[in-house]
A and B are shown apart, each in its own frame.
Chain A
Amino acid sequence: MGGRKDGSPSSSIDSSSHPALSTASSLSQPRRDLSTDLRLGLSLSTSSLQDGSSSARDDWPPIKPLLRSTLTEKGHQIQRQSATFFVKVYMEGIPIGRKLDLFALDGYDGLIKTLRRMFRASIMRPDIAQMPTNKDHVLTYEDKEGDWMMVGDVPWEYDFLPPLLILLPSILNSICH
């Protein structure tokens, strides 16, 4: 039958039961010393918490499972949401550019729509076969190797983070399919 057999009562805090030092005991009795670990963990500085502290307990603090799972999930999302990534966008021939937060957009669709509104230009999309007209523009960026590429071929989820975007009249390129 399970139970704590040694002498250390659960309510003591002393350095000999520091989580980092007592990994052996905490492994062999997984549900045992958590209370001690917890108290020490929470009262130490953030540096010690951040090492693998997804050992966050599921029984402390005392909140219900629905709230716990909602907040855990949101915790990850919010880190992403509050980050921004502003990129400069220029239209060829116009010296004054615009700025755009890529993290606030919803994929390439969002990017193209926003740029269309900003520049009042029609922008070609690589995934849609279309006959280019004189008015079309192509959205391009310079990749790490210094080559000018058309935006849209690499999946959005691969963290498309170019330093600069340029809208070029499509007539300059023969990229049309």
Chain B
Amino acid sequence: MTYFPEEVVEHIFDFLATHRDRNTVSTVCKTWYRVERLSRRSVFVGNCYAVHPERVVARFPGLRSLTVKGKPHFADFNLVPHDWGGFALPWIEAAARGCPGLEELRMKRMVVSDESLELLARSFPNFKVLVLISCEGFSTDGLAAIATYCRVLRELDLQENEVEDRGPQWLSCFPDSCTSLVSLNFACLKGEVNAGSLERLVARCPNLRTLRLSRAVSVDTLSKILARAPHLVDLGTGSFTIDHRAEAYHKVMGNFIKCKSLRSLSGFWDAAPHCLPAVYPICGNLTGLNLSYAPAIQCADLIKLIRQCSKLQRLWILDCIGDKGLAVVANTCKELQELRVFPSDFYGGGIAAVTEEGLVAVSSGCPKLNSLLYFCNQMTNAALITVAKNCPHFTRFRLCILDPKKPDPVTNQPLDEGFGAIVQSCKDLRRLSLSGLLTDRVFLYIGMYAERLEMLSIAFAGDSDKGMVYVLNGCKNLRKLEIRDSPFGDAALLEDVGKYETMRSLWMSSCDVTLGGCKALAAKMPGLNVEVINEMDESDEMEENPCDLDKVEKMYVYRTVAGPRNDAPDFVWTL
């Protein structure tokens, strides 16, 4: 490679598509390291505490796109205390100092303050893309800053964030000169929206292709927007409450018909069944449909709608669709790749919504299915074995049986064999979530067969330490392991401590790991942060005298080159 000038090497590196490949070539020699780091435009940081922001910025001064993830995945389910950490500000500050050319920032599960949004807005003249997923800590004032100062903003994508509402004026902060928007998603906002500002903004952005409206946007406004932007590809409908006898209904249907490019629909926040026919005209073109926020629409109406969506590739739906409805999906949506069925009535005592039958039907009718999230009341081994045979291409398979530790209702056996069939058949499986009654055996299978597995979620499963050890020993590509309410203890934790340096993180809560075990791990592996999370319990006297034999409620272990973090709250102990 000494024969090639550096520009050529750099050009060759351009062909490397993944972060992994670029990271690899940077380790070959000093020259390649230098060429790679100076030409790197995009960096992905899977754990914000794995490395100091300053170090990232120093190494990659030409950075244009940065992605950072904060809290562990189980934070989505309220398992991580509110102020655990994951702050965006240090990253934005470091980037502001070291990478003024930053154009794109994507953050997931981080705490983003209005102050950091304002700093972001003012620091990067070329800033184009902001994506915040499952973040919190900011208000509409922060959005106002983004709107005001990011002159060439193309994408503002807010997915499922907790945003404090300080009024609708943020939308009016986009200057009249802002015409560059391609994607605007504010579906998660709860407050009022200034309809006039919204309509004018849409009207002056001819390149707008994705628009996801919040609940506060009325059908009337939606109708006007559709009339102005018939070239939309992805639409979140807003409240979609229409009186189907009213003129507004016919108007919106008429405007939907004009949207020939529409491929993806979501929203339907308050939709009642009689509103759905308004979208029938464009159903035949849809590749994506998300009705998971529309529990008022029951099976019969869902079926009528889905019958028209023969090109669907991605379907997110509530379990009120039932097994019967899933059979219709199987018959109609032959292109289906991703299916998510969410529970609509999870406080128990509800009507059995979907069972193994629905899943088997879809697996049989939709051969391209590769990604599944399925909440159901029951599952059988026989069904899972059939599904494994029908769909060997699963890359993501997440099954959640609502009643934890529920066995196969037909045979009363654990579901080891069923999941075993899945991992054996689906050679490309990268992500797996288990549920139901499971013994150590299922982990033996996972360790043996799930060679490509990168993320595994375990809840209420296993009998002994052996289970966890099978997984740690077997899954060579494991990056993230999260376990709750399972009987794995210190022996399993300490069996192969080196393994954790090959992984991004390990989460264990309500397991049998003790404080002593965590301390031992921390002592053996200085390259790991072993965090023990203790939510103070005032009635608990043992708080003051922690004993090594005490079981740890929550533990989060991750590899890092940054050492113990300096922003940990009182209840987080880094050992």
Contacts and interface: CB of A to CB of B under 8 A. Distances in A.
Contacts of B167: none
A67 B292 CA distance: 8
B379 interface: no
Interface in A19-74: 28-31, 35, 38-39, 41-43, 46, 49-50, 53-54, 56, 58-67, 70-71, 74
Contacts of A58: 77-78
Contacts of B211: none
A42 to B, nearest CB: 5
Nearest to B571: A2
A62 B400 contact: yes
A5 B551 contact: yes
B375 to A, nearest CB: 6
Contacts of A39: 403-405, 460
Contact of A49 (B347, B485, B573): B347
A76 B371 CA distance: 32
B480 interface: no
A31 B571 CA distance: 15
Contacts of B551: 3-5
User: Which DSSP category, helix, strand, loop or mixed, fits chain B's interface?
Assistant: loop
B309 to A, nearest CB: 22
B160 interface: yes
Interface in B275-328: 292-293, 295-296, 318
B348 to A, nearest CB: 4
A79 to B, nearest CB: 11
A94 interface: no
B402 A81 contact: no
A1 B79 contact: no
B266 to A, nearest CB: 12
Contacts of A35: 404, 460, 485, 510
A35 B462 CA distance: 15
Contacts of A81: 272, 296
B272 to A, nearest CB: 8
Nearest to A41: B348
B537 A49 contact: no
A46 B550 contact: no
Contacts of A71: 295, 318, 343-346
Contact of A9 (B295, B405, B512, B534): B512
Given A3-B534, A5-B550, A31-B537, A11 B78 contact: no
Interface in A70-96: 70-71, 74-75, 77-78, 81
A31 B79 CA distance: 11
A13 interface: yes
A2 B543 contact: yes
A64 B485 contact: no
Nearest to A39: B404
Contact of B78 (A38, A59, A70): A59
A133 interface: no
A28 B535 CA distance: 14
Interface in B421-480: 459-460, 462
Given A42-B404, A58-B78, A2 B553 contact: yes
A5 B537 CA distance: 13
A11 B485 contact: yes
Q: How large is the interface on B (under 10, 10 to 19, 20 to 34, 35 or more residues)?
A: 35 or more
B288 to A, nearest CB: 17
A56 B343 CA distance: 14
A71 B269 CA distance: 10
B77 A62 contact: yes
Nearest to B514: A3
Interface in B157-198: 160, 162, 188
B486 interface: yes
Given A5-B551, A35-B460, A13 B405 contact: yes
B158 to A, nearest CB: 11
A63 B546 contact: no
Given A42-B404, A43-B406, A74-B296, A62 B486 contact: no
Most buried by B among A62, A67, A71: A62
B293 A70 contact: yes
Contact of A61 (B296, B349, B375, B535): B375
Given A3-B542, A3-B552, A4-B553, A63 B293 contact: no
A38 B510 CA distance: 14
Contact of B295 (A3, A54, A60, A78): A78
Contact of A65 (B76, B537, B553): B76
Contacts of B160: 64-66
Contacts of A42: 348, 402-404
Contacts of B295: 70-71, 74-75, 78
14 contacts: A1-B515, A2-B540, A2-B542, A5-B542, A11-B485, A39-B403, A43-B403, A46-B348, A53-B348, A61-B375, A62-B400, A63-B343, A81-B272, A81-B296
The 7 closest A-B pairs by CB, nearest first: A46-B349, A1-B546, A3-B550, A49-B348, A2-B534, A49-B349, A42-B403
Interface of B: 76-79, 134, 160, 162, 188, 269, 272, 292-293, 295-296, 318, 342-349, 375, 400, 402-406, 459-460, 462, 485-487, 510-512, 514-515, 532, 534-537, 539-540, 542-543, 546, 550-553, 573
Interface of A: 1-5, 9-11, 13, 28-31, 35, 38-39, 41-43, 46, 49-50, 53-54, 56, 58-67, 70-71, 74-75, 77-78, 81
Given A10-B487, A28-B539, 16 more contacts: A3-B542, A9-B512, A10-B510, A10-B511, A13-B405, A29-B540, A31-B535, A31-B537, A39-B403, A49-B347, A53-B349, A54-B347, A62-B76, A65-B76, A67-B293, A71-B318
